[in-house]
Structure 1
Amino acid sequence: MPKATPVTRNDVAQYAGVSTAVVSYVVNEGPRPVAPETRDRVLEAIRVLGYRPNATARALRMGTTRTFGLITPDGGNPLFAELAKAIDKEAAARGYVVLQTGADGDPATEQSKIAELVIRRVSGLILVAPTEDLDLSDTDIPVIAINRVLSTVSSVRPQYREGARRGVEHLLEHGHRRIGLVIGGGRSGERELGWRDALLAAALEDGPIARTTFSRRGGYDAGRELLAATNRPTAVFASSDLQAVGVLRAIHEAGLRIPDDIAVLAFDGTAETEYSWPPLSVVRQPLEQMAREAVSRLIDGQGAVEAVTYPTELILRRSCGC
């Protein structure tokens, strides 16, 4: 069966009784104004005939694809999934679409994905928790980082240190004096510093630390490590939701009660924490605000390189004793 001939701009013009130039003005929203009744006839012709403008050609004419490239380190992490959804919503409200891909936290992969998106002529790049040794010198489009500071582009992130401090202070208010930390990475980040700030202000020594990956398995292994300590903590602050879920499993398997025997509080605040057992108390990242800021800066211009931070929200549920 022969393929149907694609509908052209000439077909639309003939059906609407206008010139092809008028069709172009309607499709491209300019550069010349079109009378409302004429515009309605053109739109009706487009609907009836099923005309589909060439998006690539239109982008080349307008100098923009109205598309953002979004690179996340782990597409399976609920935090990044919720952040991507918030970014997509904000972009759509401004007439942009989002092309998302993952880098698995690998610098070489991330650099390659950036190059691919630039070739596709995206209008801007959003890098979520990017690796720190990225080379963006040849990138001639707007770039913004989320959840990590880069020296060459503006960034948006939560107030990690302040949020972690508030979370640990809440555990202290429940009477806990030995608070363990489950943290990702091998160095002192802002969440670890916030944990130390709270303990220092209470004149307490640091509790035990378990360093692991930002994953459920990592949290599970870290939880077992902390529970096996001679003087196990009475509360645990986990630097991510996924780690906290793993810690919960380790505690349940040990036959301990949450929060009676050991309390848990996490940093991130994804929807997953509402449905763990017990529901997790969390320091919630301001995902919607960060998404709005990132999209706005890409579209409206960024000015000087700036690191923007937003306050977190402490949400209290059963895992801490509330």
Structure 2
Amino acid sequence: MVQPLRRAPTRADVARLSGVSTAVVSYVLNDGPKAVSPAAKDKVLAAVRALGYRPNAAARALSKGSADLIGMLVGDTRNPFSAQLSYSVDKAAGDLGRTLLVVNSENGVATQSEHIRELAARQISGLISMRRVSGEELDLLSSFRMPTVLVNQMSSTPGTTSVGVDYREGARRAVEHLLGHGYQGIAFAGVDDAGDGRERGWMDAVTAADQPLGERVETTYSLRGGYAAGMRLGADGVMPRAIFAASDQIGIGLLAALHERGFDVPGDVAVVSFDGIREAEYSWPPLTTAAQPLVQIAELAVNALLDWDDLPRSVVLPTELIIRRSCGCSWRGAPAL
């Protein structure tokens, strides 16, 4: 009877139990590069089962010359947008036989540079980052010669590819839709500290229509931030007729605050938001939103890592305006992305 080991079993343990060399164990587990007799293979696999041996992913990646792991840095995995994009990346990677390792890089324990070092130690084949990457972190990635795809953060840095949407244009089109309803004094709820262009798009549309900019309420990209914005809007006694929320989470929180204050949406106040998360379809009323093509972004990001020389260094995609009830349009159940 095989006695269970107190430590994790190693390849050497498998070799001892099966009566073969560690090289033969390696050939069996990696399906080559040398052929192994059926009898020896059966012994090795029996020892693996008996010991509960699990091959080390990083070591296996080194032996193959390439890794089957893709790393992904996400700011907050609780964020519905991050979760939905992570799911799409995981599916795209799985379809190509790769495994996705998601790291929440805003957990307050380790720095982002430390996360990058940890991922590099696992021999990942490349990194997808939804988090903003500093110049110092880009230098670190370059030192590891790690292909990197930046999502929604355009960069011309060598060794990186950028995949994302034109925030400014998407926001402009969303606000133009509100203007098409005849609304004036359109407000903005959000913050453009990342400089991604959502606020600029709001300004472009309103000024092009020869209208004064409506109220601007700065708030965080969260449900709580949207709720807080909704409670502050109209503090001067004049409630805006329409609001552009810089994200769906802001929009959903905004709707909760407006309902609590007794405003009808869209009868009293119309709302359009940005991102296209699934939850936007199930708010009340359902949100009209400038949706990001998350499946396409995910597929491009994964393919960029696996076919590094075949894609341009910067890919900018358009958003799609999904029409629902919050803007004042009639809606017939347009499907969520």
Gaps of at least 5 residues in structure 1 are none
Shift of 1:225: 1.9
Give CA-to-partner distance per residue, 1:9-30, whole Å, 9 cap, x none: 798899xxxx998986675355
Q: Which residue of 2 aligns with 1:138?
A: 140
Instruction: Report 1:40-119 matches (<5 A).
Output: 46=45, 50=49, 54-55=55-56, 56-104=58-106, 109-119=111-121
* Residue identity opposite 2:149 in structure 1: I
The answer on 1:266 being equivalent to 2:266 is: no
Q: Which residue of 2 aligns with 1:123?
A: 125
Aligned residues between the structures: 314
* Residue identity opposite 1:94 in structure 2: L
Q: Which residue of 1 aligns with 2:333?
A: none
The alignment-based identity, stated in percent, is: 42
Q: Which residue of 2 aligns with 1:235?
A: 242
The answer on 1:220 being equivalent to 2:227 is: yes
Q: Which residue of 2 aligns with 1:191?
A: 198
Q: Which residue of 2 aligns with 1:281?
A: 288
Instruction: Report 1:242-253 matches (<5 A).
Output: 242-253=249-260
2:193 and 2:59 map into 1 onto residues whose CA distance is 48
* Residue identity opposite 1:252 in structure 2: H
1:195 and 1:301 map into 2 onto residues whose CA distance is 35
2:303 and 2:19 map into 1 onto residues whose CA distance is 36
Indicate conservation of the 8 Å contact 2:229/2:254, yes or no.
yes
Shift of 1:186: 3.8
Give CA-to-partner distance per residue, 1:133-171, whole Å, 9 cap, x none: 442223221111001123422111112111111111111
SS at match of 2:138: coil
Which of 141, 150, 157 is equivalent to 2:155?
150
* Residue identity opposite 1:148 in structure 2: Q
Query: Structure 1 222/302 Cα, relative in aligned 2: closer, same or farther at 3 Å?
Result: farther
2:97 and 2:172 map into 1 onto residues whose CA distance is 39
1:171 and 1:319 map into 2 onto residues whose CA distance is 10
Query: Structure 1 102/20 Cα, relative in aligned 2: closer, same or farther at 3 Å?
Result: closer
Gaps of at least 5 residues in structure 2 are 330-337
Superposition TM-score, scaled by structure 2 size: 0.81
Indicate conservation of the 8 Å contact 1:157/1:309, yes or no.
yes
SS at match of 1:278: coil
Query: Structure 1 29/251 Cα, relative in aligned 2: closer, same or farther at 3 Å?
Result: same
Superposition TM-score, scaled by structure 1 size: 0.85
2:91 and 2:268 map into 1 onto residues whose CA distance is 42
Query: Structure 1 188/158 Cα, relative in aligned 2: closer, same or farther at 3 Å?
Result: closer
SS at match of 2:229: helix
Query: Structure 1 180/115 Cα, relative in aligned 2: closer, same or farther at 3 Å?
Result: same
Indicate conservation of the 8 Å contact 1:126/1:143, yes or no.
yes
* Residue identity opposite 1:272 in structure 2: E
RMSD of the TM alignment (CA)?
A: 3.2
* Residue identity opposite 1:199 in structure 2: V
* Residue identity opposite 2:303 in structure 1: S
Indicate conservation of the 8 Å contact 1:132/1:150, yes or no.
no
Query: Structure 1 134/286 Cα, relative in aligned 2: closer, same or farther at 3 Å?
Result: farther
Indicate conservation of the 8 Å contact 1:154/1:302, yes or no.
no
* Residue identity opposite 1:281 in structure 2: T
1:216 and 1:10 map into 2 onto residues whose CA distance is 57
1:217 and 1:94 map into 2 onto residues whose CA distance is 38
Shift of 1:227: 2.7
2:22 and 2:129 map into 1 onto residues whose CA distance is 41
* Residue identity opposite 1:275 in structure 2: Y
Indicate conservation of the 8 Å contact 1:241/1:270, yes or no.
yes
SS at match of 1:135: helix
Query: Structure 1 201/32 Cα, relative in aligned 2: closer, same or farther at 3 Å?
Result: farther
